[in-house]
Amino acid sequence: MMLVAFSGCKTSDPPSLMIATVTALTFKKDANRRSKRAAYELPADAELIVGSYQTTFNCAGLRYGYYADTDNDCKIFHICHEVELADGSKQLNHWSFFCGNQTIFNQLTLTCSYPEESVPCANARDFYYVNDNIGVQDAPFLTDDDVSRGQALYEGFGARLSGRAASKK
């Protein structure tokens, strides 16, 4: 069983601080038995935050990374991680989390943030490639081109930080 808790952010915090802070506590039922957390095993009453949700996301074919769940309006995100076991076989691990109230997973920054400061959920898959930057040394996580692509999708992107009011399209 895994208990997941998220720390809240103030509305005055910049999006770079609006990271889904995850604290995971694992309780072993049997010390000799190895078990893995199932996908979509969200905390009790998660529906109060995200509403009813679909369990359609699949990590098959995805490399290690963080992925917005577009079937759930990006309120849920997943971590996919394939590992090689001692016997040479591969195991695909899939963990599911949800963003805090009134936030969605921003696939560009790999954080939970307000919808008006995020890449639109409908475009999240266009930014799955950002996961390729995880662990790359001596390179910026996001290039100027990445930021420009995200900014072009929503004119209010970053408006709260700059003091501009976001206008609705």
Q: What is the pTM of this model?
A: 0.70
Residue 96: the pLDDT is 95
Residue 167: the pLDDT is 52
Q: What is the DSSP string of 20-76?
A: --EEEEE--S-TT----PPTT-PPTTTHHHH-S-------TT--SEEEE-GGGTTSE
> Which mean pLDDT values do the consecutive 10-residue runs of the chain (169 residues) have?
44 45 35 53 86 91 96 96 93 93 95 93 96 92 91 69 55
Residue 48: the pLDDT is 86
- The tokens of 88 are what? 């040479």
Residue 154: the pLDDT is 75
Cα 127 from Cα 73, distance rounded (Å): 15
**Count of residues in the chain:** 169
